[in-house]
Amino acid sequence: MKTIEDLDVAGKRVFVRADLNVPLAGDQITDDGRIRAVAPTIAKLVERGAKVVVASHLGRPKGEPDPQFSLAPVAVRLGEILGRPVAAATDTVGESARAAVAALADGEVVLLENLRFNAGETSKDDAERKAFAEQLAALADLYVGDGFGAVHRKHASVYDLPALLPNAAGDLIATEVGVLKKLTEDVQRPYVVVLGGAKVSDKLGVIDNLLKKADRILIGGGMAYTFLKAKGHEVGISLLQADQIPVCLEYLAEAEKRGVEFVLPVDVLVSADFPDLKTKAPANPELVDSDKIPADQEGLDIGPKTRELYAAKLADARTVFWNGPMGVFEHPDYANGTKAVAQGLLDSDAFTVVGGGDSAAAVRILGFDETKFGHISTGGGASLEYLEGKTLPGLAALEG
């Protein structure tokens, strides 16, 4: 895989496929982590005299313009981070985009409008996708893939476009791949994996693959209750994927067979009512053992005994991968489990990787210093699919 050091970019139009899919409240960005992650690659290209054309998706518009998913606020924030103006096109490959790119001087930057405003970006029809990629290619001389959070998607700007232009990986993708290799090749042990989030089904592939690699797997979040149900425990009205119970039983048996510690919560905070995440009004949770959840209660965070247990399981780790919060961390009454895991990573001497998505957001929202972790990934889904051993289309396109 080539890097941007392998490209002669001076005076060239360089198309940078970034992942600027940031959370918005109206037109306000609530977490700019993904913008800051790609900014160094853009800055490097600017310093080398490139005309930089940045493109990304945001949200899930249905193949046509939708103002609530406009990248206009992102252009403003990107400019602030780069310390230079960033022009904002009002379309992807139309008159505005073509004019904005034509007006670029060396060292200037334009951000195209949301790629998913064009149906060709995400089309499953190869010809439609390629046609859109050809329109994008007309705007550039070179391609730099740096949107790690999108490399598991077979989309026009990720998969088809690199084949049409001389291409290379940006610094962010190069870093992400290097980190993931540390989690799959020549791993320093003990290797501890912490998985949370809502659904077991989202993590099946990664559990299956990591059972062959990890020394311990700690489970929290909504997905824990399907495992607890598989062990015969009452889980009340907690999140449950009943159809996944058989596979959970298989994984528990496989872990025992392989000598992998598979650790589930021993106590949980429960409530009959889901907390109000807007007002964050006191929720008055009840603490119960994880095998004694009342039938009318919902588990919403791991309890203090589990927090201590998980901290102990992390203490001697040499490598840790964490993906998914331990509870409803957005509410202060249910944030302590996620805080405890984050602190456990920091207290260990391990190489620590926070696997994107809600975990990365939790680190920032709960006030932790991002620089203290080994790596905070920008791609939750992409990280998981890599760890599952899948071929990621966007990486394959750059390697090809």
Helix (H) / strand (E) containing 321: strand 319-323
Is 34 annotated to bind a ligand? Reply is yes
* Strand partners of residue 217: 193, 262
Is 203 annotated to bind a ligand? Reply is yes
Answer left, alpha or beta for residue 186, where phi above 0 means left and psi between -120 and 50 means alpha.
left
Cα angle 48, 149, 371 (rounded to 5 degrees) comes to 70
For residues 219 and 262, the answer to whether their CB atoms sit within 8 Å is: yes
Q: For the segment 113-122, what is each residue's pLDDT rounded down to a tens digit?
A: 999 999 999 9
- The confidence score (pLDDT) of residue 381 equals 85
- Return the structure tokens found at 207: 């559990």
Alpha-carbon distances of 301 from 21, 313, 339, rounded to whole Å: 28, 18, 11
Tell the residue number behind the tokens 């600017």, with chain if given. Answer: 46
CA-based nearest residue to 5, from 104, 105, 137, 144: 144
Q: Which residues are CB-neighbours of 386 under 8 A, at least 6 positions away?
A: 152, 177, 180, 184, 392
- The confidence score (pLDDT) of residue 83 equals 97
Judged by DSSP in three states, 194 sits in: strand
Q: Which residues are catalytic?
A: 34, 199, 357, 381
- Return the structure tokens found at 49: 């005299």
d(CA 322, CA 191): 11
Is 94 annotated to bind a ligand? Reply is no
**170: which DSSP letter?**
-
Cite the DSSP H helix spans in the chain.
33-47, 72-82, 95-102, 126-137, 171-184, 204-210, 224-230, 245-258, 304-315, 336-347, 357-365, 380-387, 393-399
Is 264 annotated to bind a ligand? Reply is no
Is 330 annotated to bind a ligand? Reply is yes
Is 59 annotated to bind a ligand? Reply is yes
Is 70 annotated to bind a ligand? Reply is no
Is 323 annotated to bind a ligand? Reply is no
Low-confidence ranges of the chain (pLDDT < 70): 356-357
Is 258 annotated to bind a ligand? Reply is no
Please report the domains of the chain, with CATH numbers, ordered by start residue.
Answer: 4-170 (3.40.50.1260), 179-387 (3.40.50.1260)
Q: Please give the span between the terminal C-alpha atoms of the chain, in angstroms, as a whole number.
A: 8
d(CA 191, CA 205): 18
For residues 197 and 223, the answer to whether their CB atoms sit within 8 Å is: yes
- The confidence score (pLDDT) of residue 356 equals 67
